[in-house]
Structure 1
């Protein structure tokens, strides 16, 4: 079993996080919008706030990024990305389970959005008990998913 840990992001992690996004999500972005390095870098620069991001490490090596918002009524998973080299090893499952546990302790739903084209991630979240609750964005490109601890509500069916 790999040692998975989190560390706060620092400004110097910006390039790592950009390259991670390109490796983990670039083909999905390219399929929807086309990948333009300059546009994607500008988008990344606008959204990278080190005080809100965490770097996922595996055996002491930077392997991914996580952004979680603890809102008044829900826990929102804004981003979870693992470099493809680290995918399929159960690391994402461990991180998701930890977030599920945190949301349950808070008595809140765990919410996330996934690109509809990312069928692998959609199936991953369904296997972990998330349910689709809405589609949104241009041409319904995003799927809103929710995990509800305990018994499903009528909204989850």
Structure 2
């Protein structure tokens, strides 16, 4: 198993994060909205937040990104993207399990939104114990999922 770590993102990571998003999410974005390179670059420029994003590394190489918001009543997984060359190796599972443990320790649920067309990610989240609680966005393109803490 790779040595996986997180490091703070810096402004210099902007292009890496854009190319990562294109590789990991481009097909899903294209299926819903169509991929327009300039629109996507503008969207990225507005959303890139190095102060709150982490870069996922495996064996010292940058392979993904993670954005988590710690809210009053929940831990919100804003984004997790792992480059397709590194998917299927348990990296996302390991990171999400760590967030689930952290949320549980804080007495909170882990909450996230996933695109309805991203069946692979939905299957991962379900396998890790998250459940669909709502659909939203134009045409219900997003699924809100929440961890179910055991009662107690």
Q: TM-score range by the shorter chain?
A: over 0.9
Cα distance in 2 for residues equivalent to 1:107 and 1:148: 11
Report Cα offsets for 1:102-132 as digits up to 9, x if no partner.
Answer: 0001000100000000011111100000000
Question: Gaps (5+ residues) in structure 2?
Answer: none
| TM-score of the two chains, using structure 1 as the length reference | 0.95
Query: Which residue of structure 2 aligns with residue 63 of structure 1?
Result: 63
SS in 1 for 2:124: helix
Are 2:75 and 1:86 equivalent residues in the alignment? Answer: no
Task: Report the alpha carbon displacement of residue 150 of structure 1 after superposing the two structures with TM.
Answer: 1.8
| TM-score of the two chains, using structure 2 as the length reference | 0.98
Task: Report the alpha carbon displacement of residue 25 of structure 1 after superposing the two structures with TM.
Answer: 0.2
Are 2:109 and 1:109 equivalent residues in the alignment? Answer: yes
CA RMSD, aligned part only? 1.0
Are 2:38 and 1:38 equivalent residues in the alignment? Answer: yes
Correspondences of 1:66-77 after superposition (within 5 Å): 66-77=66-77
Correspondences of 1:1-157 after superposition (within 5 Å): 1-151=1-151
Does the 8 Å contact 1:108/1:148 carry over to 2?
no
Cα distance in 2 for residues equivalent to 1:93 and 1:49: 24
Aligned residues: 152
